[in-house]
Structure 1
Amino acid sequence: MTGTRSQPAPAAVDEPVATAPEGTVGGWVLDPRTAVVILLAASITIMAPGGLWFVPASLVAGVLLAITERAWRRVFGLPAAAAAAAGVAFLLPLAAPWPVLGLVGVMGEFTLRLVVVGGIAAHLIRTIPPTRYTAALRAARVPSAFTVSGAVMLRFAPTIVSEARAVRDAMRLRGLGGWTAMLRHPLRAIEYFTVPLMASSLRAAEDLSASALLRGLGSQPRPTSMHPPRLGPADAVAGCVVVLLAVATVLWRSGR
């Protein structure tokens, strides 16, 4: 008896995930274009001269995004890290008029800005898959140079974090991890951590490059999407909240 073998249906290229990421509140998922605009606006305003005025507003935005994601560790950890960096930046130089403390204060101020921007970037990395990211940026007519590089970074950053944890666990098994071992042999600990991490990073970069070529990221034809990205109510609410925070910051600054 002969039978016919069913052929699998061709998969659509660059199909974004239609379901909400795990941990989001009520399917609260921002469109990648909205998240990228919020991240760029926060980065430009905070890193610009006088950008410290916008640090509280960006911190509130990062905490609200973490709440929608139910990332409770980030909800409490982001303000704590920002408060620690602010203490180093503004309170430590007041302890003594030493040039070294002034330099540490400048580094703390820059760290404060990075922490606040990193809180918003963490939400983008955790909730937006690279497929939705590339589909949304293509819909916005963003050049492929920015689209491909951003998609690679979204996949590369979690890979590096997991590799760093694996190297740290391997160092602990060999008695090289922990603060005691680092204080005893700091150069050796740095060497044993960076060399395997660099090697694993190179392997991960090669795998990601091959995966990008297989997915057609460098091809000339524009890939199609089964679920085209669309702006929703969550994007409207997020835009209104960001505008209100910016207006409140400007009014607060003008009133000082």
Structure 2
Amino acid sequence: MTGASRQLGSAVAQELGPAAPEGTVARSVLDPRTAVAVLLGASITIMAPGGLWFVPAALTAGVLLALSERAWRRAVALPLAAAAAAAVAFVLPLAAPWPVLGLIGVMGEFTLRIAAVGSIAAHLVQTVSPTRFAAALRSARVPSAFTVSGAVMLRFVPTIITEAQAVRDAMRLRGLGGWGAMLRHPLRAIEYFTVPLMASSLRAAEDLSASALLRGLGSQPNPTAMHPPRFGPADAVAVVVVAVLVATTLLWRSAR
């Protein structure tokens, strides 16, 4: 009986994730409310007409956030990806006045905007756990519909990515992976990839639903956080840096 209890406890602990006491959170990590506010501001500004002016500021903020969490690969990959998208968007259409190149340029411009917003979203996903995210949104008086859905998405998306990688590895073991196999049997490759991925997604959704119920998401009254979110020095630094980047962008735009 004791062995079964231990196995059940370890399974639940793996599903819920390790407990993250307040002392283990680095001081350089932003409060989830600050990260969400920066992400929403960048998304609204960049996706609006004339938002290309703010793309360098958002990329700079994304690189600084990646450096703050010591994500060296992302800090290097972001400028390279942005430079490639900018070349496709602005340099490629100048090669020849072809409508196809113009269409590709429009797609490159849209990709550049997504990369700028994604640079900030990646920091939010990597540093904010679903528990801290839900607690921060509850403290900000955000409706539970957005709180629960956002917390589940933070846990569901990485799970689906992991399951997709496992399905792809299984396909390669059976000789169905790679571009050559997909070109020879495209329908079979799609079928063998989507069916297991959908089945694993349904199992992951059920497990995450059980985990959410155990954590008290969506309950009335709202659950009390053991470690309430608090603003720290990192949030003040982030506000100052964002203000400087926005002011620099506005001055640059007015000078042009």
TM-score, with structure 1 as normaliser: 0.88
Deviation string 1:207-251 (CA, Å, 9 cap, x unpaired) is 212221222212111211222111010000011001100110011
In structure 1, the partner of 2:203 is 203
In structure 1, the partner of 2:238 is 238
Structure number with the higher helix fraction is 2
Residue type of the alignment partner of 1:113: R
In structure 2, the partner of 1:178 is 178
Ranges in structure 2 where 5+ consecutive residues have no aligned partner = 1-18
Deviation string 1:151-178 (CA, Å, 9 cap, x unpaired) is 0111011101111111111111112222
How far off is 1:87 after superposition?
1.3
In structure 1, the partner of 2:152 is 152
In structure 2, the partner of 1:18 is 22
In structure 2, the partner of 1:105 is 105
How far off is 1:179 after superposition?
2.7
Residue type of the alignment partner of 1:64: L
In structure 2, the partner of 1:132 is 132
Report the Cα distance in structure 2 between the residues aligned to 1:80 and 1:142, rounded to whole angstroms: 36
Matched, 1:93 2:93: yes
Deviation string 1:186-213 (CA, Å, 9 cap, x unpaired) is 3433332222222222221222122212
Ranges in structure 1 where 5+ consecutive residues have no aligned partner = 1-14
How far off is 1:140 after superposition?
1.1
Matched, 1:191 2:201: no
CA 1:77–1:143 in structure 2 vs 1: closer, same or farther (change >3 Å)?
same
Residue type of the alignment partner of 1:38: V
Residue type of the alignment partner of 2:81: A
How far off is 1:71 after superposition?
0.6
Report the Cα distance in structure 2 between the residues aligned to 1:159 and 1:44, rounded to whole angstroms: 28
How far off is 1:86 after superposition?
1.2
Deviation string 1:119-153 (CA, Å, 9 cap, x unpaired) is 11111111111111111111111111111111011
Identity %: 78
Report the Cα distance in structure 2 between the residues aligned to 1:40 and 1:181, rounded to whole angstroms: 41
Deviation string 1:93-133 (CA, Å, 9 cap, x unpaired) is 12222212211111111111111111111111111111111
In structure 2, the partner of 1:227 is 227
Report the Cα distance in structure 2 between the residues aligned to 1:92 and 1:188, rounded to whole angstroms: 36
SS at match of 1:230: coil
Report the Cα distance in structure 2 between the residues aligned to 1:114 and 1:228, rounded to whole angstroms: 32
SS at match of 1:91: helix
In structure 2, the partner of 1:55 is 55
Runs of 4+ in 1 over 6 A off after TM superposition: none
In structure 1, the partner of 2:30 is 30
Report the Cα distance in structure 1 between the residues aligned to 2:214 and 2:24, rounded to whole angstroms: 26
How far off is 1:20 after superposition?
4.2
Residue type of the alignment partner of 1:212: A
Report the Cα distance in structure 2 between the residues aligned to 1:248 and 1:17, rounded to whole angstroms: 38
* RMSD between superposed Cα atoms in Å: 1.6
TM-score, with structure 2 as normaliser: 0.88
Answer whether contact 1:57 1:245 (CA < 8 A) is retained: yes
In structure 2, the partner of 1:165 is 165
